[in-house]
Amino acid sequence: MKIIGNKITTNMSLFAFLGFLIIVFSFTSEHFLGIYNITSLLTNISYSGIAAIVLTLVIISRGLDISIGGVIGLTTVVIATLYSQSDPLPVWLILIIGLSTGALVGLLNGWCITVLNMDPIITTLGAMAITRGLAYVISDSQSILMFEDTTDFISNGTILFIPIPIILFLITALIFSIILHKSKFGRAVYAIGANETSASLSGISVKKVKMILYVLSGLAASISGIILVGQTSVGMPQHGIGTELEVITAVLLGGTALSGGKGTIYGTIAGVLILGVLFNGLTISGVRYVHLQIFQGILLLAAVATYEIKTRNEVAT
Amino acid sequence: MKVWLKKLIYSDDIVGALGIFLVLLVVFFSVMTPHFFSLMNFNSIIGNIPAMAILCLGLTFVVLVGDLDLSLGSILGITAILAVFFFKVMHFPLWLNLISCVVIGGIFGAFNGAIVTKIGINSIITTLGTMALIRGLTYWIAMDVDAMQVGRITDPAFLNFGRYYFPEKSRLIPITLVYLVILYGASALFLNHTSFGRQIYAVGSNEATARLAGINVKRVRFVCFIIAGMLSAFGGLVLVAQLGLGEAYTGQNMILEVVTAVVLGGVLLTGGKGRLTGVIIAVLILAVIRNGMVHLEQVTDISFYWRDVAKGVILLLAIGLYSVRKSFNAKRLRTRQ
């Protein structure tokens, strides 16, 4: 019961901070709470939010995926290149190929990490270079225009006035919070992160779980890529540079520990929202872009320092 | 079997294998392309690596104690801007500029080190935060520098800091090569032949044991962060002198390449193991690929963008083989017992 209590308070303080930010920004800018700004804010965070949700599971299992940005870039290029052929494949097939690009990279990552026993940081660092490089090779460093109805609908369409990226983000969050917090698979993820040897001894097939996680992470990055293609109408190899660090920042801000075994989907949602609100709010209040990074850095350090000091106090008592 | 061959296959050290791979790469590009094998091209390869090599040296110190510093690229960036600012606006002489920048780099390193050792936050998270923080500061300062239109440096005394050749006429040995030899040589001596250097390895291989042996673990880690910061600042100065230009985005997205080189060089991310010889060979391998692919594109149809793919594949292969061999060796030992 105590553990559950702590979990709730961590998330509560995050959402309280989020509320504080929203109140501050609604005073500094009259447009902040406008319906147009809120939808654009939520649409913008959905893109990296989907990747962040899945990365949460990977980090809880004591892994890491740095290849997210590279996969996003490669997916946009693959989709746009296939579509720009003189006799293009049907769109649904192109999208499936795009999705399987990410899944394939995830499979490679998972294979190296589970079978060859390689460090996840090193493996995904290599995968990042490979995916980014392939994106440059395939596109020959050009931007490939892609005006197409389906991807446009996925990124800019609405269902009941709600933009589809937001719906995708919510569905992903819902599915993965059920998987992580209510299913056997989720318990296995926590167990692996807390202690891999004891998880393995208690009958969890560690390799299988990890493999699935990395494939899902690649898949999520590809979905982000598809949304990006629709939003920008262009596939280019520079898409998604730096996204991996942004996504990791959001996950860590949400209270997930890099040392594994700890973290929640709600925390990550709060982390994604806080980063999004902060960037949007500061921009709309007239703060110049150059100062945003300073805020982002201070915020991450302050949040993690708070967790650290809090856990230390808990251990002391 | 020959002893050296046995050593190559079974030892935990990947430096020998890396060296052979580098030679093979050079031979490959020399055979395939007409202009690769020339003094001028080798000087251009050497001219491209100093900042990268110096950052790798700094990161090696941090990784050896088992931490990671992602903010080194940002420290290099802020130094680049500050060097221009000090030189053009404050009119510092070169020596003062050099000292101020290196000290400032050291201060940023100390900031990282203090958060990691005093508060106890994971070094990846800490430096992810300071990376954004320092880059933000850099853009802030750069706005003023841009407004004053002082970005470019044309003063020969400053430029020679990164562009001088020994002897000057025949352009045989670039000054940057001298820096690299001195820095890597001094660091290797420091790591292998001083008690503090051995403490760095001790802390990285087993922190608890090191503490029990009476080593001030936190101080060792703290000092490594400072060394990394100072080296990055020096790398930034060399880069500014080479380019004659300091920009806000200098060194952005550089850090992941630096991590790649250090890891490829056989430095364990968990700390305690790794040699500087391996790191510099890894830097050279990446530089040779970068340069060689451009030459290769001219004679064949292969796009030089394959270089990034090659980089990733080599990293995965090297570390994959290393980890397969490690488990193979462990099995071999077990069957012997």
Contact: B313, A132; criterion CB under 8 Å: no
What's the mean pLDDT in A76-84? 90
Helices and strands in chain A: count of H runs, count of E runs = 13, 4
Q: Which residues pair with B166 in a beta bridge?
A: B173
Q: How far apart are the first and last CA of chain A?
A: 17
Res. B6: pLDDT tops 50: yes
For residue B251, give the 3-state DSSP assignment: coil
The backbone torsions φ and ψ at residue A145, rounded to the nearest 5 degrees and listed phi first, read -70, 145
Rounded CA separation A304/B212 (Å):
29
- Note whether B312 contacts A130, CB cutoff 8 Å: yes
Question: Which chain B residues contact residue A63 at CB under 8 A?
Answer: none
User: Tens digit of pLDDT for each residue in A92-144?
Assistant: 888 999 999 999 999 999 999 998 888 888 888 889 889 998 999 888 888 88
Q: What is the pLDDT of residue A58?
A: 93
Residue A221 lies in a domain: yes
Residues of chain A contacting B130 with CB distance shorter than 8 Å: 297, 301
Q: Which residues of B touch A294 (CB under 8 A)?
A: 132-133, 136-137, 140
For B49, phi then psi, to 5°, come to -95, -15
Q: Which of residues 194-253 of A touch B (CB under 8 A)?
A: 241-242, 245, 248-249, 252
Please check whether residue B308 is in contact with residue B283, taking contact to mean a CB–CB distance below 8 angstroms. Answer: no
Q: With contact defined as beta carbons under 8 Å apart, do B255 and B127 qualify? A: no
Beta-carbon separation of A126 and B140 below 8 A: no
Residue type, A218: G
Q: Does residue A299 surpass a pLDDT of 90?
A: no
Residue A13 within any structural domain of the chain:
yes
Name the one residue in this structure whose structure tokens are 């949700």.
Answer: A53
Question: From the list B129, B303, B323, which residue is nearest A301 (CB)?
Answer: B129
Residue A211: which domain range? 2-311
pLDDT higher than 90, residue A56: yes
> Look-up: residue for tokens 């070094």?
B123
Average pLDDT value for residue range A157-161: 81
Q: Is the reported ipTM for this assembly greater than 0.95?
A: no
Q: How far apart are CA B58 and CA B73, in angstroms?
A: 11
Question: Measured in whole angstroms, how far is the alpha carbon of residue A56 from the centre of its chain?
Answer: 8
Residue of B119, B136, B320 lying closest to A294 (CB–CB): B136
Q: In sequence order, which residues have a C-beta less than 8 Å from that of residue B102 and are 6 or more positions away?
A: B230, B233, B234, B237
Q: For residue A123, give the nearest of B69, B322, B174, B150 by alpha carbon.
A: B322
Report yes or no: B269 at the A interface, CB cutoff 8 Å. yes
Residue from the list B119, B260, B306 with its beta carbon closest to the beta carbon of A125:
B260
How far is Cα B138 from Cα A297, in angstroms, rounded to an integer? 13
Name B255's Cβ contacts closer than 8 Å, sequence gap at least 6: B55, B70, B71, B72, B73, B74, B131
- Is there a contact between A301 and B260 if contact means CB atoms under 8 Å apart? no
Mean pLDDT of B254-265: 87
Percent of chain B clearing pLDDT 70 (strictly above): 93
A144/B50 Cα distance (integer angstroms):
35
Q: Chain A 71-110, CB below 8 Å of chain B: which residues?
A: none
Q: Is the pLDDT of residue B325 over 80?
A: no
Residues shown for chain A: 317
- Section B257-282 average pLDDT: 88
Q: Which of B128, B263, B305 sits opposite A300 (nearest CB)?
A: B128
For chain B, the structural domain boundaries read 50-253
Q: Is residue B45 within 8 angstroms of chain A, CB to CB?
A: no
Q: Over 90: is that where the pLDDT of A151 sits?
A: no
pLDDT more than 90, % of chain A: 26
Q: Assign residue A161 a region: left if phi > 0, alpha if psi is -120 to 50, beta otherwise?
A: left
Beta carbons of A125 and B263 less than 8 Å apart:
yes
Q: Do A126 and B327 touch (CB under 8 A)?
A: no
pLDDT digits (tens, 9 = 90+) for B29-72: 898 888 888 888 888 888 889 999 999 999 999 999 999 898 99
What is the rounded average pLDDT for all residues in chain A? 85
Parallel, antiparallel or unpaired: strands A234-235 and A144-145: antiparallel
- Nearest residue in B to A247, CA atom: B128
B93 touching A (Cβ < 8 Å): no
Residue B231, SS3? Answer: helix
Stretch A198-223: mean pLDDT: 91
Whole-number mean pLDDT of chain B?
85
Structure tokens at B6: 């046995």
Is the pLDDT at A154 greater than 80? The verdict is no
Which alpha helices (DSSP H) does chain B contain, by range? Answer: 3-10, 15-32, 39-48, 50-64, 72-88, 94-114, 123-147, 156-163, 175-193, 195-205, 207-212, 217-243, 255-264, 276-299, 306-336
Region of B298 please: left (phi>0), alpha (psi -120 to 50) or beta: alpha
Of B120, B121, B269, which is closest to A122 when you measure between CB atoms? B269
Residue B164 has pLDDT above 90, yes or no: no
Within a domain: residue A268? yes
Judged by a CB distance cut-off of 8 A, whether residue A292 touches chain B is yes
Q: Does A140 touch chain B (CB under 8 A)?
A: yes
Of B125, B133, B253, the CB nearest to A298: B133
Which candidate from B263, B307, B310 shows the least CB-CB separation from A122? B263
Lookup result for tokens 């291989």: B205
Q: What is the pTM of this model?
A: 0.85
Interchain CB distance below 8 Å, A308 and B119: yes
CA separation for the pair B17, A314 (Å, rounded): 49
pLDDT classification of A1: cutoffs 50, 70, 90:
very low
Test B256 with A125 for CB contact under 8 angstroms: yes
Q: Are the beta carbons of A122 and B122 separated by less than 8 Å?
A: no
Residue type, A20: F
State the CATH number of the domain containing residue A283. 1.10.3470
A89-to-A95, B120, B167 alpha-carbon distances in Å: 10, 54, 62
Q: Which positions 242-261 of B are in contact with A (Cβ < 8 Å)?
A: 253, 256, 259-260
How does DSSP assign A130-163, residue by residue? HHHHHHHHHHTT--EE---HHHHHHHH-EETTEE
Question: Residue A6 pLDDT more than 70?
Answer: no
Helix (H) or strand (E) holding A295: helix A289-316
Residue B302 contacts A, CB cutoff 8 Å: no
When CB atoms are compared, the residue of B128, B305, B323 closest to A249 is B128
Q: Tell me, yes or no, if B329 comes closer than 8 A to chain A by beta carbon.
A: no
Which residue type is seen at A37?
A: N
Q: Sort out which chain A residues have CB atoms less than 8 A from B307's CB and list them.
A: 133
Q: Check CB contact under 8 Å for B319 and A297.
A: no
Q: Is B100's pLDDT higher than 90?
A: yes
Count A/B contacts: CB-CB distance under 8 Å. 141
| Average pLDDT value for residue range A26-54 | 86
- Answer yes or no: do B308 and A132 touch at CB < 8 A: yes
Distance between B139 CA and the closest CA of chain A, angstroms: 6
φ/ψ region of A160 (left if φ > 0, alpha if ψ in -120 to 50, else beta) reads: left
CB atoms within 10 A of CB A248: 24
Please report whether residue A244 resides in a domain.
Answer: yes
How far separated are the first and last CA of chain B, in Å rounded?
A: 22
Say if B305 is an interface residue toward chain A (CB within 8 Å). Answer: yes
| Residue A203 exposure: Cα atoms within 13 Å on the Cβ side | 1
Tell me how far apart the alpha carbons of residues A155 and A175 are, in angstroms, rounded to a whole number. 20
Helix (H) or strand (E) holding A50: helix A35-60
Give yes or no for a contact between A222 and A75, defined as CB atoms under 8 angstroms apart.
yes
- pLDDT, residue B146, reads 62
Q: How far apart are CA B162 and CA B47, in angstroms?
A: 9
**C-beta separation of A232 from A80 below 8 A:** no
Q: Is residue A317 part of a domain?
A: no
* Omega prior to B50 cis, within 30 of 0: no
Crossing angle of helices A206-232/A184-194, nearest 10°? 110
Which residues from A are below 8 Å from B142, CB to CB? Answer: 290
Backbone phi and psi for residue B245, each to the nearest 5 degrees, phi listed first: -160, 140
Please indicate, yes or no, if residue A236 is contained in any of the structural domains.
Answer: yes
Instruction: Give yes or no for B125 touching A (CB within 8 A).
Output: yes
Cβ of A128 and B136 within 8 Å? no
Interface check for B320 against chain A (CB to CB < 8 A): the answer is yes
Half-sphere exposure of B205 (CA within 13 A, CB side): 12
Number of domains in chain A: 1
> Phi, psi at residue B80, to the nearest 5°?
-60, -45
Whether B120 has its CB under 8 Å from any CB of chain A: the answer is yes
∠ CA A67-A119-A306 to the nearest 5 degrees?
75
Q: What is the average pLDDT across B65-90? A: 89
Chain B, residues 163-222, CB within 8 A of chain A, namely: none
Instruction: Let me know if residue A133 belongs to a domain.
Output: yes
pLDDT confidence of residue B108: 95
B150-161: average pLDDT: 74
Question: In the predicted model, is pLDDT for residue A218 greater than 80?
Answer: yes
Helical (H) or strand (E) element with A266? helix A265-284
